[in-house]
């Protein structure tokens, strides 16, 4: 079987024999930056149909065409896990999105809390980071990055069947909580650097489906806490061996 | 009890009544950047004596003096866990050091492997990152950042009582391996982006104290893998609840 070193997410149906037109920036990346040409093989995935080996059948400066030759991997959906986080500085916010995609979150929701420093995000830029991370990590699914929403509003419309694990000064370890609660649908909520406000903590602690957990004796930065919490969850309830 | 919002690592003995002279850059940071003055309280730690609340007893442009008034926390040593990693791009290398300090590694060893991209590190800069992370995360211990060493040489002098968990295309989950092996002293080895060379993998797999583990079905970047591996270890054998 041919091996493709480049993986590309495309928003297009994929099947053997299917032709996929390339957008201008994809063509620039493949043919300009990566110096691929006609006859080269690229791995394509679209979050729906799995991964396909596609041949470059036409290469131009402003576009091109790939043709799917064979299916190389089935779609592997991540577990039904959302990551909710309060945006922080640009680099660290980018990292959180990248990490969440690598770690196998299904959906990434930036939330604005009482102590959130950053009141705006560039959803399109964050989504592009998630795409790039999925391309890099060999996943066949790109988590959707939602628009920034207030934590208040998010909780008002919350599906009570989705458990929330939130990191707070708790005395109970995350593994213990996950072992006791189980449940299929989950979200991990990472607070802002200043922590949750008293009102938010009170509200969260009162929700029957929200569970405070500890992530060790040191105070983790938000980006570290995101990866650590995703690790604990994936190990215990997710798709890790 | 007075609360100190600023935490500072000092390389000086600490005890109630002890005076600590400040270096020029520390004085600049405390009095210039953070606008502290005489009478302000700062939390000090030195990786040996615990944390002390110290009062600014003299503040100048080029120096100053702090005096320890009371002990605020006992020294909490991290578990005997080393993080070995192949340096990558500057930002991600900085992140790995920061994360290792937050996550409670005792020692951080950059190693150069056959496929390591970066052949030089700035040990002093990385050590400063570890100090800053310890100051931020509330730890009382700063992990030592070692100089870059070749993996070959490191393994030649290895203490066989220190187990190594290395991340490779393994079929066994990290939690399972840690549960089976236990052992007091450990090191986590994170390979470079290009993976280990065949020779390195062969050597590692042949070592009785080295254990290949999987970190899930996606390929994690080195910085993500470092945090994930530290999480699994801390959860199972370390100082997390």
Q: In CATH, what number is assigned to the domain containing residue A61?
A: 2.40.240.20
Do A182 and A135 fall within a single domain?
yes
Is B58 part of a structural domain of the chain? Answer: yes
Would you call A171 and B215 a contact, using CB atoms and an 8 Å cutoff?
A: no
Question: Nearest residue on chain A to B240, judged by CA atoms?
Answer: A216
Do B174 and B157 fall within a single domain?
yes
Q: What average pLDDT score do residues A96-117 get?
A: 94
Q: Which two tokens stand for residue B183?
A: 């052992």
Å from A120 to nearest chain B CA? 24
* Maximum pairwise Cα distance, chain A: 60
**Of the residues A73, A89, A113, which one is the last residue of a structural domain?**
A73
Percent helix, percent strand, percent coil in chain B, to nearest 5:
30, 25, 40
Is B2 part of a structural domain of the chain? Answer: no
Q: What is the CATH number of the domain that holds B181?
A: 3.40.1280.10
Do B110 and B183 fall within a single domain?
yes
Å from B156 to nearest chain A CA? 31
Is A27 part of a structural domain of the chain? Answer: yes
Of B137, B230, B232, the CB nearest to A235: B232
Of A76, A218, A238, the CB nearest to B102: A218
Mean pLDDT of all residues belonging to chain B: 93
Is A1 part of a structural domain of the chain? Answer: no
Q: What average pLDDT score do residues B217-234 get?
A: 94
Do B88 and B55 fall within a single domain?
no
Would you call B235 and A95 a contact, using CB atoms and an 8 Å cutoff?
A: no
Q: What average pLDDT score do residues B170-197 get?
A: 87
Is B189 part of a structural domain of the chain? Answer: yes
Element (H, E) at B27: helix B24-27
pLDDT band at A146 (very low <50, low <70, confident <90, very high): very high
Contacts of B175 in chain A (CB under 8 A): 235
Closest to B100 in 3D by CA, of B235, B191, B228: B228
The pLDDT assigned to A18 comes to: 97
Q: What is the pLDDT of residues A149-203, one digit of tens each?
A: 999 999 999 999 999 999 887 778 888 888 888 778 999 999 988 889 999 999 9
Contacts of B240 in chain A (CB under 8 A): 173, 214-217
Of A137, A216, A241, the CB nearest to B240: A216
Q: Are A185 and A162 in contact (CB under 8 A)?
A: yes
Q: How many CB atoms lie within 10 A of CB B61?
A: 10
Do B64 and B134 fall within a single domain?
no
Q: Are A84 and A167 in contact (CB under 8 A)?
A: no
Do B53 and B91 fall within a single domain?
no
Question: Nearest residue on chain A to B177, judged by CA atoms?
Answer: A241
Question: Nearest residue on chain A to B228, judged by CA atoms?
Answer: A231
Do B99 and B207 fall within a single domain?
yes
Q: Which domain holds residue A119?
A: 81-237
Question: Nearest residue on chain A to B230, judged by CA atoms?
Answer: A228
pLDDT band at A1 (very low <50, low <70, confident <90, very high): low
The interface predicted TM-score (ipTM) is 0.91
pLDDT band at A127 (very low <50, low <70, confident <90, very high): very high
Q: What average pLDDT score do residues B112-140 get?
A: 91
Tokens 């950042």 identify what position?
A: B145
The pLDDT assigned to A241 comes to: 63
Q: How many CB atoms lie within 10 A of CB B188?
A: 26
Q: Are B76 and A217 in contact (CB under 8 A)?
A: yes
Return phi, psi of residue B154, to 5°: -60, -45
The pLDDT assigned to A167 comes to: 87
Do A157 and A231 fall within a single domain?
yes
Element (H, E) at B180: helix B174-181
Mean pLDDT of all residues belonging to chain A: 93
Q: Are B181 and B212 in contact (CB under 8 A)?
A: no
Higher pLDDT pick, B173 / A39: A39
pLDDT band at B1 (very low <50, low <70, confident <90, very high): low
The pLDDT assigned to A52 comes to: 98
Do A90 and A44 fall within a single domain?
no
Q: What average pLDDT score do residues B102-116 get?
A: 95
The pLDDT assigned to B241 comes to: 64
Q: What is the pLDDT of residues B184-206, one digit of tens each?
A: 899 999 998 888 999 999 999 99
Do A149 and A40 fall within a single domain?
no
Do A155 and A227 fall within a single domain?
yes
Cα gap B82→B162, rounded to integer Å: 9
**Of the residues A54, A73, A92, which one is the last residue of a structural domain?**
A73
Is B1 part of a structural domain of the chain? Answer: no
Residue B150 CA: distances (Å) to CA of B85, B108, B115, B119: 11, 14, 11, 10
Cα gap A41→A2, rounded to integer Å: 7
Higher pLDDT pick, A184 / A44: A44
Do A121 and A172 fall within a single domain?
yes
The pLDDT assigned to B134 comes to: 96
The pLDDT assigned to A119 comes to: 73
Q: How many domains does one find in chain B?
A: 2
């Amino acid at each position: 079987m041919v091996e493709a070193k480049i993986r590309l997410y495309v928003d297009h149906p994929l099947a053997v024999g299917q032709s996929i037109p390339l957008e201008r920036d994809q063509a620039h990346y493949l043919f300009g930056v990566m110096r691929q040409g006609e006859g080269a093989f690229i791995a394509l995935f679209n979050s729906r149909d799995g991964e396909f080996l596609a041949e470059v059948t036409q290469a131009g400066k402003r576009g091109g065409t790939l043709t799917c030759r064979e299916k190389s991997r089935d779609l592997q959906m991540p577990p039904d896990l959302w990551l909710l986080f309060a945006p922080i500085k640009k680099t660290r916010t980018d990292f959180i999105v990248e990490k969440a995609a690598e770690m196998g979150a299904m959906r990434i929701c930036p939330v604005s809390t009482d102590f959130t420093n950053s009141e705006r995000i560039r959803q399109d830029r964050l989504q592009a980071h998630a795409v790039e991370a999925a391309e890099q990590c060999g996943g066949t699914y790109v988590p959707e990055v939602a628009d920034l929403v207030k934590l208040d509003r998010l909780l008002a419309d919350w599906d009570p069947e989705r458990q929330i694990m939130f990191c707070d000064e708790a005395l109970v370890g995350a593994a213990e909580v996950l072992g006791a609660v189980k449940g299929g649908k989950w979200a991990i909520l990472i607070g802002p650097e200043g922590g949750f406000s008293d009102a938010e903590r009170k509200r969260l602690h009162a929700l029957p489906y929200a569970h405070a957990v500890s992530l060790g004796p040191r105070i983790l930065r938000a980006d570290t806490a995101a990866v650590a919490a995703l690790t604990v969850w994936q190990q215990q309830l997710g798709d890790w061996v």
